[in-house]
Each structure stands twice: as structure tokens, then as C-alpha cells.
């Protein structure tokens, strides 16, 4: 009986320890992932804050807290990988590499279209604001997230440097979190959601 009680208490502690995004993305991990977001060379300097990220994550029930720990880590790495690409200030020879410079911008640099990107989720162009056709048989994985976010420009055209950039961020964050990336990382052969 004592053994059963000990197992139940242990399981409860393990489950409770991963009941919040902050149990996976601590302030130290956040700073490691987005290490240049407060750099003077980044227009976002001081804008993206850890506490705001945690507060926002908690406002979406189940975000980064559903499934086993590996699934939670992949979801968080995927989110941060996509948003880091949208806000990147990195370049090929940047200190610590191009994938250390996520969250460098607050808004899209090219604002010719009234639907320019704002914040870390930078949906651009009017077709990204229209309902998505989810019946096109796209394979699950990180690539379909890219397709949802910017498929009209980046997917279904073969290898694309923007997609490779998104994958680079995702791989870096999965590495920091100690979790594999899974399959289907690109959308090179996926029909964009904007194509009916």
C-alpha cells in the first residue's frame, strides 16, 4: 500500500511539474533561445519579455502542456522556430549563427502591403487572413505549420531558403530542449493553403 501511495505521489509531482509552459521554458532557457532579442542592434530591444510570453502561453489552454513531455517541447520549439523566423535579425555570419537572432524585429521590414506582419506571428498578405483549406492532404509535421503561416510564398516550390531558415530555428530549439525534431520538416512539395 505504501508503494502504491508513493507511486501516485510521484506521478502527481511529475505531471504537475509539466502543467505549465514555464516548467519547460524557464527564464534561462528563454534567454538562451532568444539571446539577442535585447541586443542594441535589434529594433525589438527590450520588447519581447519572458513574463509576457508565459502569460500569453497560459491564456491558450493546452498550449505547450498537452501530451507527453517530448510533444510539449516540440510544440514550443515549433512555435518559437516559426516566430523566430518571422522576427529574425540573423545573417549567415552572425555571432552564434543566424538562428540565435530570433525576436529581433517587432514588425515586418517591408510594409508595402497593408497586411504587413506585426509581432512574432507575422501573417502577411490578405490571403493569409482568409480561411484555410485543410482538406488538401498535407502531411503532419513542422512543414505544414510553415504552410499555414506562409505557404503561398514558401511552399510547393521545392527547396526554399526561407523554409530552411524556419527549420534551422526549430532544430536549434529542439536541441536546446533535448528533443528530436520529428519528420516532415519542410513544405517543399506541399500545395500551399492559398491554392484552391
Active site (catalytic) residues: 86
∠ Cα 180 185 186 (to 5°): 165
Helix residue ranges, H only, 59-103? 69-86
Which H or E run includes 104? none
- Rg for the chain (alpha carbons), in Å? 18
Q: Contact, 145 vs 185, CB < 8 A?
A: no
Please report how the helices 69-86 and 142-154 are oriented relative to each other, as an axis angle in degrees rounded to 10.
Answer: 20
Distances (CA, A) of 147 to 40, 50, 182, 189, 191: 32, 27, 17, 10, 8
Amino acid at each position: 500500500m505504501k508503494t502504491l501511495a508513493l507511486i501516485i505521489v510521484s506521478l502527481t509531482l511529475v505531471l504537475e511539474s509539466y502543467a505549465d509552459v514555464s516548467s519547460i521554458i524557464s527564464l534561462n532557457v528563454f534567454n538562451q533561445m532568444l539571446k539577442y532579442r535585447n541586443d542594441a542592434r535589434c529594433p525589438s530591444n527590450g520588447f519581447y519579455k519572458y513574463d509576457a510570453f508565459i502569460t500569453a502561453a497560459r491564456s491558450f489552454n493546452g498550449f505547450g502542456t498537452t501530451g507527453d513531455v517530448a510533444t510539449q517541447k516540440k510544440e514550443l520549439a515549433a512555435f518559437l522556430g516559426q516566430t523566430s523566423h518571422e522576427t529574425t535579425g540573423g545573417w549567415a555570419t552572425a555571432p552564434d549563427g543566424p538562428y540565435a537572432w530570433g525576436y529581433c524585429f517587432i514588425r515586418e521590414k517591408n510594409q508595402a502591403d497593408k497586411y504587413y506582419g506585426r509581432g512574432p506571428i507575422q501573417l502577411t498578405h490578405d490571403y493569409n487572413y482568409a480561411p484555410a483549406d485543410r482538406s488538401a492532404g498535407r502531411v503532419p509535421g513542422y512543414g505544414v505549420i510553415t504552410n499555414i503561416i506562409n505557404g503561398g510564398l514558401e511552399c510547393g516550390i521545392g527547396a526554399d531558403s526561407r523554409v530552411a531558415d524556419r527549420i534551422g530555428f526549430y532544430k536549434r530549439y529542439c536541441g536546446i530542449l533535448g528533443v528530436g525534431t520529428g519528420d516532415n520538416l519542410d513544405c517543399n512539395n506541399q500545395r500551399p493553403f492559398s491554392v484552391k
